[in-house]
Amino acid sequence: MIGAEIFAVEPWSVRERQLHVDLLAQTESLFALSNGHIGLRGNLDEGEPSGAPGTFLNGFYEVRPLPYAESAYGNPEAGQTMINVTNGKLIRLLVDDEPFDLRYGKVVRHERELDLRDGVLRREVEWISPAGQGVRVRSTRLVSFVQRSVAAIRYEVEPIGSSVRVVVQSELVANEPPPETKDDPRAAAALRAPLVSEFDAHSDLRARLVHRARASELRVAAAMDHLVEGPDRTVTESESEPDLARVTVSTELEPGQVLGVVKLIAYGWSSRRSLPSLRDQVDAALAAAKRTGWGELARTQREYLDDVWERADVELEGDPALQQAMRFALFHVVQSAARAEGRAIPAKGLTGSGYDGHTFWDMETFTLPVLTYVAPDAARDALGWRHATIDLAQARARELGLEGVAFPWRTIRGQECSGYWPAGTAAFHINADIADAVRRYLKASGDDEFEQGPGLELLVATARLWRSLGHHAPDGGFRIGGVTGPDEYTALVDNNVYTNLMAARNLRVAAEAALRHPKRAGELSVSQEEIASWRDAAEAVVIPFDSDLKVTPECEGFTKFRPWDFETIPADEYPLLMNYHNYLLYSSQVVKQADLVLALYVCGEHFDDEQKARDFDYYEAITVRDSSLSAATQAVVAAEVGHLELAYDYLGETAFIDLRDLAFNTRDGVHLAALAGTWLAAVAGFGGMRDFGETLSFAPRLPSRIARLSFGLLYRGRRLRVEVRPDRACYELLHGEELEIVHHGESVTLSSSSPLTCELPPPPERTPPTPPPGRAPPRRHREA
């Protein structure tokens, strides 16, 4: 874990006050920069020491075989792995012929800062070489939100004490050696030397490399150019070879003199475009960046984020560390998707190679709800990517003998990449998750063009899957069998409640959309009979209930599964999937991550308050949170049923999942969905926001340690800000026409003329539930 003392607590930055070599892999993920198009891990400029190199391009992957001991019909034959492409971050420094390497000599000062307002990573080092020469090195790195193909680094060297000879080597390097592989299915499959050189060239201060991936045959071009400011007699030269391009700057610095190098980096990649086309693309991107210059790149970066924070910032008074973590989380969520534009949002963003760079249901269920209300264009783009892969999902459904679409459990390009079908293919709920993300986006945006185009097509195709996958039983109930819900410790079950409720909503929303747009529905061959069949299935969907315990089983028969003996499980045997066979997990009452509790949140209209409280208590006692997705959902529902202090602890867990490395795998990249869950825990948990009704509803309440919560939302062309204090909530319509919302069950109307203040009712008094032994969330109040 990363101790609380590692980072200074500041409202708008994450600052590491000294270098922690043993935490390099983790801080490389935390300090990663991205715009959703390009991702640069926060490696040291000189490249060594490092935890894991990482330069990632969204959608650039290699194909690898999926071996099976016993193959079966329908098993995916190939996987996809996001690979580390040509590294343009490298800037090596020689001081009087001594390599600048922090493992040698003396580090007098080392500080790195992720600036959440400026969107840059800053670094300042004072170092004395083994020969006794001191230098000060400053660097600032950015991945541009405005010029999406461009990253840039400003690098400065000055002597401390006497004059010094310095050489700066700025490089492009392909096929860097990958880190050692780990016996952990959450980590990426490292591929060695996946890039084949096709072109290299250099001239003046510019160099270019073009490669293609061996199996996927994707092509990538990387280029760099430089702006150099130094004393007279500064000399430069350039060179290139298949996997390396280098620009060298050499000078002698007197005390008070500074060598400044601005490195501009550009990337382009495609599965179809030719080598000359990609080469010319990166040349053009560099020309534009060079004309713009460092100052303008930095200014427009800040300007872009000023606009983001104006609408997206969440303010928490009473817990400065949590405030910092909230903004860190939002920054990573926004930068993961800002300029993805037609590509997916991987589970780790572009911060590390964990999960092979795959996209899961996390995107629609955790990340897109945040983007829908703070960056709706990014949410639209992500849904547009799903729609762009609909032909592959249709082909997969046909392969499975189903109608409609079967979207993949894990993928990069759109093909199913899960080699374990009980947790992958059988998790059909991802199709309803996608449909619900479409529903949410359409409701929040009023985007009629998207609804009649990709939106309706996605809704219709997913509805057809459910009508095909389920069946009407003799008793009239619509049953969906043999599926895996969100809880991956309970696989291949009948009538998973979350899946069934989400499928029913999918069917209803598809029917309503088809009726709103009959012409477009007709073009998709949707008949009135088919619409009626969707509605009938939705009304008859089976929702199991245990009348003896008066709780909702996660799936049919779940409350009759064998109890799990939590008392005997030592702490080092979590996560359970690493130490217990799936058979034991699948047949026992042990929950990996919120499943039924997730249904209480996203399908809350189907449960009354007392049922939610009983169900939450039941599942709290058997949920071990071996998934980083769980804490945010438990925070939301804990807050709703009145366990505000427990919700506060869960908010802390999801907020600090990476800043404290609570899951011990931040080295592989940040947990993007969990970071998005920080927003959900605050806005849906303590803000009580729900969006499954006709309009937005709020039921805010605060834990004792939070004196004030404030958050913004974009909704139907309006900009809202909600401020919650212990005894009241204030709703302010900052822009747009008046809007009706619901506050604690009462309809109220907002207008731009004046804010509306409403009193908060007291929370219900309930006895806090008990999590499994050793699995309670960290107590947040100890730090607050």
Q: Which residues are catalytic?
A: 488
Dihedral class, residue 395 (left if φ above 0, else alpha if ψ from -120 to 50, else beta): alpha
Q: Are 157 and 169 a contacting pair, CB within 8 Å? A: no
Q: Whose CA is closest to 39, among 468, 349, 282?
A: 349
CA–CA separation, 114 vs 121, rounded Å?
5
Half-sphere exposure of 659 (CA within 13 A, CB side): 28
Angle of the 644-655 helix axis to the 672-680 helix axis, nearest 10: 150
CA–CA separation, 781 vs 190, rounded Å?
40
For the chain, the distance separating the N- and C-terminal CA atoms, rounded to the nearest angstrom, is 19
Q: Are 547 and 560 a contacting pair, CB within 8 Å? A: no
Beta strands 106-115 and 98-99 are unpaired
For residue 622, what are its two tokens? 């058997």
Which residues does 647 contact at the CB level (< 8 Å), separation at least 6? 634, 635, 636, 638, 639, 681, 685, 686, 703
Is-cis flag, bond preceding 773, omega within 30? no
Q: Whose CA is closest to 414, among 427, 422, 405, 423?
A: 405
Residue 128 vs residues 98, 107, 112, 230, 459: alpha-carbon distances, Å: 10, 7, 18, 21, 63
Taking CA 55 as the corner, what is the angle to CA 52 and CA 61, rounded to the nearest 5 degrees? 105
